[in-house]
Structures are given as C-alpha cells and as structure tokens.
Amino acid sequence: MSGTIKPVESLDEAEARQELERLAREIAEHDQRYYSEDAPTISDADYDALRQRNLAIEARFPTLVREDSPTRRIGTTVSTKFAKVVHAVPMLSLDNAFSDEDVQEFVERVKRFLRFPADKPLAITAEPKIDGLSLSLRYEKGRLLTAATRGDGTTGENVTANARTIADIPNVLSGNPPDVLEVRGEVYMAHADFAEVNKRNEAAGKPLFANPRNAAAGSLRQLDTSITASRPLKFFAYACGEVSEMPATTQMGMVSAFASFGFKTNPLMRVFNKTEDLLAHYMEIEAQRATLGYDIDGVVYKVDSLELQGRLGFVSRSPRWAIAHKFPAEKASTLLIDIDIQVGRTGALTPVARLEPVTVGGVVVTNATLHNEDYIKNLDIRIGDTVHIQRAGDVIPQVLGVDLDKRPSGAVEYPFPTECPICLSHAVREDGEAVRRCTGGLICAAQAVERLRHFVSRGAFDIEGLGEKQIEFFFNADDPSLKVRSPADIFTLRKRQSQSLVKLENIEGFGPTSVRKLFDAIDDRREIDFWRFLHGLGIRHVGETNSKRLARHFINFQALREAGEQAVPPQGKGDTGNPSWQELRSVSGIGDVVAEAVVEFFGEDHNRQVLDELLAEVTPRDEVRVDTSSSPVAGKTIVFTGGLERMSRDEAKAMAEKLGAKVSGSVSKKTDLVVAGPGAGSKLKLASELGIEVINEDQWFERVKG
Ligand code: IVH
C-alpha cells in the first residue's frame, strides 16, 4: 500500500488518470460496504486517506475529474430494499480537518471568502461529531411525514416507519414549528445499549455487530419495524433541510429551536469567536470522549450565522461553512502471536496480525492489518514481537511498529509466502506493485466468487437475473445440480437441473418464471462478442477498454490465445521478445504490463483448462472489421455528457467506438467533439471554454447516419 504509492506531485497525466480510476473504484467499493452493507473493511483513517489522495490528484489535474468521481458523490447508491425519497435539499457530507493547522486554515478560508478582515471576530459553533448515521425528518404542520436516510445525498431510503419507533424522534412537534420543517441529525446507539444488543445476539447465535454505528445502521434499516423498535436507538438534531420559515438567524438559535420543538440536542455545543477557543473546546470534548456513553469521532465546527452560511454555500459534496475536526487514532501495544495470510477476492495476499487481546479505546482488539509484504519487511515485524497498534475510529486496527527492546531472542524474520495458502498456486508480485497475488485465478476458491460476479457483470457477459446474490447462492450450493464454481458451470446449469430432483424453482427466491428466464438469459450468451468474452475472463489489467483493443486487433479469440500462449517477453536488455510478444505489444494502447498479464494468464495450465471447459459451451464471435475510412468520427475523441434520450450511455459509447472514435469520460484539450444532452453541466462549460465543438443528440445521429 503506502510503500509504493507515488506522491501526487510526481504523477504524470497518464498515471493520474489511472490513479483516479483506481481510487474511484476503491472508494465506491468501500462506500458500498460502509453505507449499504454496514460492514466496512477499512478504518476511517485509511478511507479518509484515499479520499484525500483523490482530491489532491483532482486539484492538480482538474480536466481529469471523472464523471463517477468520489468528490461528486456522497455515500452510495440507494438500496432497493426501501422506497426512495428525493431530498428537497441534498444531504451533504463534511470536509475533514486532521490538525489544528487545518482548522486555522478553515477559519481563514471562510474569512477570505466572506472578505472579512483576518482579525474580525467570526462566531463559529463547536459540537461533537456523532458516529452514527444521518437521518432527515420532514415535518409538515408539526407532524412527521417522512424519515429518510442520506443514501447518495440526493435520494435516500424511506425509513419513516422505523423512525417512528425511536423515542427521541417526536411524531408531533411541540412549540411553534414552521409549516414545513426538515430536521436533520444523527441516529446512534449508546455503548450500554450496544453491549446489550450484542449480548442478546450472542445468546441467540446471531452474528455480532462490529461497533455501535453498524448496530445503529443495521437496526434502523430493517423492513420489519418491530426489530427497529426492539433496538434502543437515539437521535440528536443538528441541522435542517427544507424549511418554510427559518426559526432563527444562527446555527445555535436553530438548534435551541429544535430543542423547543421536542428534539434532543447535544449538550456540548458551544459558540466561540476565536480559533483558540474552538481548539480548546475540541480538547475538552476529546477528554470527555470515553465517558460520554456514545461514540463520537471528532468535533464539527459551523459558521454560526445562517446568513453567512448561505453566502458561503457548497463545494461539490460539502458545505464551505462547516468542517469536521477528526480525533487522532487510539494506540496500544501487545504481543504478535502469529501472522495469517488472507487471500482477497482479487487474489491479493494480505497479512493479518493475530494479537494477544488488548483493549484500545474501549474495544478489544485481536487482529490488525499488516498491509503487505514490504510493510512487514520494512518494519521488520517478527512473530513473538511486542507491537504498537492503532485503532482509528473503527473496524480494522493497524500495526504501527515494533518494540525492539522486547524482542525475544529466537525471533526470526518473517518469510512471506510465495504460494497461495488457499490453492497453492504461485503468488507473484509485479514490478512496482506492493501486493503479491495468487495466480490461481479461476481455480482459487478465495477468488472464485468475485471472478464469477465479474464474469456475469454488465460489462462482461451481462447475464440478466444472475447478480451477486445469485452467484453467491450457486457458488455455495451443495447439490451438484446447482453448484457453480467456474464460468463453464453456469452454462451447464440448465442441463444439470433437468436431470435433477432438486429443483431451483422450489427454492426461495426463485420461481418457475424467473428460473426459465434465467436459463434463457444464460443460453442467450452462448454466442458472445469477443471483447465481452475476454473481459469476462478477468485477466488483470484487461478491462473493457483493453479487451476491445485486443479484440479489434486479433479479430478472433483463438488468434489472441495463440499469441498469449506463445509470446515470450524480452529476456534482458536489447531483447525485444519473440514475434508473438511483439504482436501483442503492437496493439495500440497495450503496453508491457498488460501484455505480461495476458501472457501470464494464458501460461497457467489451470486457466487453460477452465478456458477449454468454457469454450465447449460458449463461442466468442469474431470481431467484425469495420471500415471506418468513411466514418465522420474515426480517430476522434468524443465525450457524451448530460442526459441522452435516444440511446443509453453504453449504447452511445458502443456506437461511437464502432465508428472508430475514442470515447472519453472527461473533457480536455484532446477532446474533438462533445455530445451534450439536457442537464449537461461542468463538462459542457469546459468544452465551450476550450472551444470544442458541441452538438446535441439529434445532431449526433444526423452526423453518423450515412
Ligand atoms: S452537520 C451539511 N453535525 O457527519 C452538513 N454532521 O461527515 C450537515 N455528523 O453526514 C452535517 N455529527 O452524518 C453535522 N454534529 C454534527 C454531526 C454530523 C455527525 C455526521 C453526519 C454527516 C457526516 C459528515
């Protein structure tokens, strides 16, 4: 991880683009785990570090900001479990400050923006940042109408029935509330209640919640509201959404108004005029952290005047008028009993420290991440060592270093395995990569589910009715007529089922119609585009774009396979590899790294075997060589933006690529043409600033119809 990450200042444009792509993907995955599954796998600090890096790269390369950039998104997509609620005012997130200097800068930034003299006092509130989940409550004429989670910031989940079971949330407001009032705040679970819930779960043999935040989220997002009602959730009100008439002119006044309407508000909220006082209050809140009885992970500062808040407005996902000052991680030291190697779904070998149990910030820690091979080597971490660990807010603590004075005499350097502990395939490290990966690919059980998911995903085989849930079901099925362990198994399902007494249609979640549809959808893919087939194989570095490049060049899958099997990369200086290698490298856009990944994939016996099984069921179609010489957009770089009405994004992209154009996600000097639909925003603006031709969807069809 951190060992080989290049500083943002030294990234070139291509590297930056690649990094932004990786960060967008990783952050989206973590968001999904955090917000939708309530099961995060990295610490808040690591997550924040990913976001910070993304932000820094975007600041250096503003033209590379992606459509799906994490800075443009809050939270995650909304689950389909609940009805959707579109927030009248988006629910935003907060920027983070990690040091006193960051807070100082925040105050200065605000003053600069408002053209306030630096020494003029500015009232700012400080209050605990509650570690729960945010909720927006809409009241009309004093009655609770809807309660919605944040969701993606624009659309949340309707959890009204659940919210009504929470004692801190009034159904009818007291006092004199405005006609329309959206109160926002945090749902959380107190420590004592959390311990109680986990005790009950343990007694009932149910899984335990990792922390109070997950317990609160898991309890609120229940379809069965009696479960929510049985969990002791609490609520603090701290902000507002849509309001017909503001009940106050300041943040502090607004929060007091909330209290007068019957809400609980945090007793530690104060207002100050000086940065030193904000920081002193931060220290005070931190000192009380362990005895508050609920989790907080920092202090939130907000400009007190609502009028100034209005002037300050927002930058992408967070308000300019507020910031969250995070608490530093909590530390301890303990004995490293052993190092386990976990194999991730992408084949990454991740070392995990098994620790003698130790309490860090009120939580018993027994495992910690060791990141990767170099991390262990650089810090010379040995089994038997006493190690320093840190827990930053939640889930996975990390090992920070070793207490050499306490090293036992017999401790030896840790030999990092070069074989996958699950499938015994070679585990290799590519040049410049921090991670060692299992090459078992399709046969490694640890990777199989993820690979199958990828195989059926929209950009690959795109099999309708075969989503993540179904893949997991088939993967874990015991009955031989249902088991799917490799891609070929998907295509033998129908036949195996027809000969079996265990019928899928009798299993919960599947009915006769959905089973028939599923089997038809599978059969529909027995002939498939070459590039989709290739993409589905999940070869490292061979995503959609490279699959298309390779397909366009090789035309026929067998030709690519032969090149991949026969290619010999350069064996030293001056060597340029054999002809097959050179052919692979000659494909436009394919460099050494991708070519090596292709060679490695086709070089593994087990991959070849799985491939042969798949080819017995599925035929990749030869690529149709298109004559793009008469295409008006051949060789052009095109950006589609805004809403498209006559075609989907995927369709537009496929169409342009077929005509020999390159489709890009962001506008830059290299863009030749922008096709803009209704609602196009920053890209359209940038295009006109750069003098790039912009047309609408109808004009696009007009242009390419010939
Ligand atoms: S104010 C426009 N105040 O932190 C911003 N947020 O990281 C409104 N949070 O989504 C948020 N305690 O879920 C605010 N005292 C507090 C908070 C708080 C916790 C959460 C909230 C927000 C997240 C941002």
Q: What are the pLDDT digits (tens) for 469-512?
A: 899 899 989 899 999 998 999 999 999 999 999 999 998 888 89
Q: Could you tell me the CATH number of the domain that includes residue 251?
A: 3.30.470.30
Contact 320, 110 (CB under 8 A): yes
**Is residue 245 domain-shared with residue 110, that is, in the same domain?**
yes
Find the length of the chain: 706
- Condensed to tens digits (0 to 9), the pLDDT of residues 160-202 reads 989 999 999 999 999 999 999 999 999 999 988 988 888 887 7
Joined together, the tokens standing for residue 622 give 């030869």
Give every CB contact of residue 447 below 8 A, 6+ residues apart in sequence.
343, 344, 345, 346, 347, 438, 440, 441
Contact 569, 596 (CB under 8 A): yes
| Inside any domain, residue 627 | no
Cα(93) to centroid(ligand 1), Å: 7
Query: What number does the ligand 1 atom closest to the CA of 93 have?
Result: 24
Give me the amino acid identity at 290: A
Lowest mean pLDDT among 39-53, 460-474, 502-516, 575-589: 39-53
Cα(150) to centroid(ligand 1), Å: 11
Return the residue whose CA atom lies nearest to atom 2 of ligand 1: 92
Can you give the pLDDT at residue 435? 87
Element (H, E) at 531: helix 530-536
Question: 106, 88, 110: which is closest to 97 by C-alpha?
Answer: 106
Pairing of strands 527-529, 619-621: parallel
Residues 120 and 113: their CA atoms lie apart, in Å, by: 13
Can you give the pLDDT at residue 77? 45
Residues 404 and 391: their CA atoms lie apart, in Å, by: 21
State residue 566 phi and psi, 5-degree precision: -95, -15
| Inside any domain, residue 681 | yes
Can you give the pLDDT at residue 383? 97
Can you give the pLDDT at residue 38? 63
Residues 594 and 608: their CA atoms lie apart, in Å, by: 18
Return the residue whose CA atom lies nearest to atom 6 of ligand 1: 129
- Condensed to tens digits (0 to 9), the pLDDT of residues 508-536 reads 888 899 999 999 999 999 999 999 999 99
- CB under 6 Å to ligand 1: residues? 92-94, 127, 129-130, 134, 186, 238-239, 300, 319, 322, 324
Query: What number does the ligand 1 atom closest to the CA of 133 have?
Result: 13
**Is residue 128 domain-shared with residue 224, that is, in the same domain?**
yes
Can you give the pLDDT at residue 1? 36
Residue of higher predicted confidence among 376 and 200: 376
**Is residue 393 domain-shared with residue 368, that is, in the same domain?**
yes
Alpha helices in 266-409 (DSSP H): 275-288, 306-312, 373-378
| Inside any domain, residue 319 | yes
**Is residue 243 domain-shared with residue 188, that is, in the same domain?**
yes
**What is the pLDDT averaged over residues 243-261?**
96
% of the chain exceeding 70 in pLDDT:
94
Cα(82) to centroid(ligand 1), Å: 23
Question: 473, 498, 525 — which closes off a domain?
Answer: 525
Cα(222) to centroid(ligand 1), Å: 22
| Inside any domain, residue 679 | yes
Pocket test for ligand 1, best of 74, 186, 320 (most atoms within 8 A of CB): 186
The alpha carbon of 381 is separated from its chain's Cα centroid by a whole number of angstroms, namely 30
Can you give the pLDDT at residue 4? 57
Cα(92) to centroid(ligand 1), Å: 8
**Is residue 138 domain-shared with residue 196, that is, in the same domain?**
yes
pLDDT band at 392 (very low <50, low <70, confident <90, very high): low
Cα(26) to centroid(ligand 1), Å: 23
pLDDT band at 3 (very low <50, low <70, confident <90, very high): very low
Q: Could you tell me the CATH number of the domain that includes residue 608?
A: 1.10.150.20
Contact 195, 293 (CB under 8 A): no
Q: Which of 129, 326, 548, 662 is catalytic?
A: 129
Cα(256) to centroid(ligand 1), Å: 17
Q: What is the DSSP letter of 119?
A: T
| Inside any domain, residue 411 | no
Give every CB contact of residue 527 below 8 A, 6+ residues apart in sequence.
618, 619, 621
Lowest mean pLDDT among 232-241, 378-387, 428-437: 428-437
Pocket test for ligand 1, best of 282, 300, 327 (most atoms within 8 A of CB): 300
Tokens 């997509």: give the residue. 77
| Inside any domain, residue 412 | no
85-97 burial, b if ≥16 CB within 10 A, otherwise e? bebeebbbbbbbb
Can you give the pLDDT at residue 574? 86
**Is residue 146 domain-shared with residue 218, that is, in the same domain?**
yes
Query: What number does the ligand 1 atom closest to the CA of 314 have?
Result: 2
Lowest mean pLDDT among 64-68, 119-123, 130-134, 146-150: 64-68
**Is residue 614 domain-shared with residue 485, that is, in the same domain?**
no
Pocket test for ligand 1, best of 44, 93, 94 (most atoms within 8 A of CB): 94
Q: Could you tell me the CATH number of the domain that includes residue 367?
A: 2.40.50.140
Alpha helices in 160-274 (DSSP H): 160-163, 191-203, 212-220, 225-230, 251-260
Can you give the pLDDT at residue 296? 93
Can you give the pLDDT at residue 306? 96
**Is residue 235 domain-shared with residue 361, that is, in the same domain?**
no
Domain membership of residue 541 as a residue range: 529-621
Query: What number does the ligand 1 atom closest to the CA of 131 have?
Result: 19
Lowest mean pLDDT among 78-82, 139-143, 341-345, 434-438: 78-82
Question: 296, 326, 356 — which closes off a domain?
Answer: 326
Return the residue whose CA atom lies nearest to atom 22 of ligand 1: 93
Q: Could you tell me the CATH number of the domain that includes residue 39?
A: 1.10.287.610
**Is residue 611 domain-shared with residue 647, that is, in the same domain?**
no
**Is residue 539 domain-shared with residue 602, that is, in the same domain?**
yes
Residue of higher predicted confidence among 3 and 14: 14
Can you give the pLDDT at residue 371? 84
Average pLDDT, the chain: 88
Question: 278, 304, 326 — which closes off a domain?
Answer: 326
**Is residue 143 domain-shared with residue 270, that is, in the same domain?**
yes
Give every CB contact of residue 448 below 8 A, 6+ residues apart in sequence.
442, 475, 485, 486
Q: Could you tell me the CATH number of the domain that includes residue 660?
A: 3.40.50.10190
Cα(95) to centroid(ligand 1), Å: 10
Contact 429, 422 (CB under 8 A): no
The alpha carbon of 689 is separated from its chain's Cα centroid by a whole number of angstroms, namely 32
Number of domains within the chain: 6
Can you give the pLDDT at residue 504? 93
Residues 614 and 109: their CA atoms lie apart, in Å, by: 59
| Inside any domain, residue 61 | yes
Return the residue whose CA atom lies nearest to atom 17 of ligand 1: 129
Tokens 């793009």: give the residue. 628
- Condensed to tens digits (0 to 9), the pLDDT of residues 62-116 reads 778 887 788 766 544 444 568 889 999 999 899 999 999 999 999 999 999 988 8
Half-sphere exposure of 453 (CA within 13 A, CB side): 13
The alpha carbon of 693 is separated from its chain's Cα centroid by a whole number of angstroms, namely 34
Joined together, the tokens standing for residue 386 give 């006493």
Pocket test for ligand 1, best of 238, 263, 295, 302 (most atoms within 8 A of CB): 238
Residue of higher predicted confidence among 30 and 19: 19
Cα(221) to centroid(ligand 1), Å: 19
Return the residue whose CA atom lies nearest to atom 7 of ligand 1: 94
**Is residue 449 domain-shared with residue 594, that is, in the same domain?**
no
Contact 701, 694 (CB under 8 A): no
Is 129 noted as a catalytic residue in this protein? yes
